[in-house]
Amino acid sequence: MISQSELDRVNRVAWNSADAARVFTLDKTYSDLGEQAAFEWLAPRCAGEPLLDIGVGTGRTIPLMTAISNDYTGIDYTQKLLDMAKTRHPQRDLRHMDARDMSTLQSGHYGLAEFSWNGIDCVDYSDRTKILEEMYRVVRPGGYLLFSSHNRGGPGYQENIWQLLPHFSVNPLKLGWRTLRSMRRFQLGTLNYVRNMKLNRDYGGYAVKTAAAHNFGIVIVYTTLPEQRRQLAQVGLHCDAVFGSTEGNRIDDDVDESDTWWFHFIAHKPFAASRFD
């Protein structure tokens, strides 16, 4: 059983909300251009391999993953979302499981383990390391990891509750409608923001902060490129490529700062162990 921190508790409430169910069932393929670029990079390298889809939610990534290989396993720790995925994709192997403890999955089996939509950001930093270590364990030597993470230097880190106010319009009918529509969101967002901001911390290389998604109902990790590369190396993974979410561009290995909203990291497990502490 995984013990819950305050950050964990806050985010689990959000994933079980009606807003999460609404967002995760929108007709959407790739989350952004960066995810598309990452999948295109991985597809020829992982074709036909066993695939692990972590944080599958309601199943958005299932068609993306099974386009690479039909040998597919999906997991999620939110039973409500997983049940929705099972209804939409009854033929798929979908399991209720926490990414911090995937001990029932075989070691060295998968050619690709991916964790999409910044799901790895929604646990404490020490648990983030546990997830990467578990991903390292379950992929085969030479196998790949793909995950996305919010950018400490991106615009998302600057979001605040004032953005929930209605946008001004010279048309009084439009302004009135926008005001009515935003009233509930602003009240709920303010309540969540004030309640969750006590968890905000800035550690330099990364930060923990309440995020605008789900009416400021989640608290997440924002990372920097140097810190995430360091963490990957510590786990024993080699970082192959990083794609920015905004334009889908590949970020050069010698670049340490970016203004993209979040990053898509691709790494692989070397054939020879190369971890450091």
Q: Do the beta carbons of residue 64 and residue 43 sit within 8 Å?
A: no
Q: Within a domain: residue 183? A: no
Highest mean pLDDT among 9-13, 67-71, 187-191: 67-71
Q: Do the beta carbons of residue 29 and residue 89 sit within 8 Å?
A: no
Across 25-53, average pLDDT: 93
In the numeric block, which tokens belong to residue 210? 């309440």
Q: Do the beta carbons of residue 249 and residue 243 sit within 8 Å?
A: yes
Q: Which domain holds residue 121?
A: 6-156+224-268
The pLDDT assigned to 103 comes to 97
* Angle between helices 125-138 and 225-235 in degrees, nearest 10: 50
Q: Within a domain: residue 196? A: no
Please say if the pLDDT value at position 275 is more than 60. no
The pLDDT assigned to 226 comes to 98
d(CA 106, CA 95): 14
Q: How many CA atoms lie within 13 A of 259 on its CB side?
A: 0
Q: Within a domain: residue 168? A: no
d(CA 46, CA 18): 35
Mean pLDDT, all residues of the chain = 90
Percent of the chain scored above 90 by pLDDT?
74
Q: Within a domain: residue 104? A: yes
Q: Do the beta carbons of residue 258 and residue 152 sit within 8 Å?
A: no
Q: Within a domain: residue 193? A: no
The pLDDT assigned to 187 comes to 75
Across 134-156, average pLDDT: 97
Query: How far from the centroid of its chain's Cα atoms is residue 233's Cα?
Result: 20
Please say if the pLDDT value at position 173 is more than 80. no
Q: List the CATH number of the domain containing 116.
A: 3.40.50.150
Q: Within a domain: residue 205? A: no
CA dihedral 52, 87, 22, 74 (to 10 degrees): -10
Please say if the pLDDT value at position 170 is more than 70. no
Q: Within a domain: residue 63? A: yes
What's this model's pTM, rounded to 2 decimal places?
Answer: 0.91
- Reduced 3-state DSSP string for 224-265: CHHHHHHHHHHHCCEEEEEEECCCCCECCCCCCCCCCCEEEE
The number of folded domains in the chain is 1
Please say if the pLDDT value at position 96 is more than 60. yes
Q: Do the beta carbons of residue 96 and residue 76 sit within 8 Å?
A: yes
The pLDDT assigned to 63 comes to 96
Three-state DSSP class for 184?
A: helix
Please say if the pLDDT value at position 194 is more than 90. no
In the numeric block, which tokens belong to residue 272? 């020879």
How confident is residue 160, by pLDDT bands cut at 50, 70 and 90?
confident
The pLDDT assigned to 16 comes to 86
Interval 117-136: pLDDT, tens: 999 999 999 999 999 999 99
The pLDDT assigned to 91 comes to 96
How confident is residue 190, by pLDDT bands cut at 50, 70 and 90?
confident
Interval 215-247: pLDDT, tens: 889 999 999 999 999 999 999 999 999 999 999
Nearest to 263 by CA among 129, 120, 156, 151: 151
The pLDDT assigned to 277 comes to 46
Q: Within a domain: residue 169? A: no
Q: Do the beta carbons of residue 244 and residue 32 sit within 8 Å?
A: no
The pLDDT assigned to 272 comes to 74
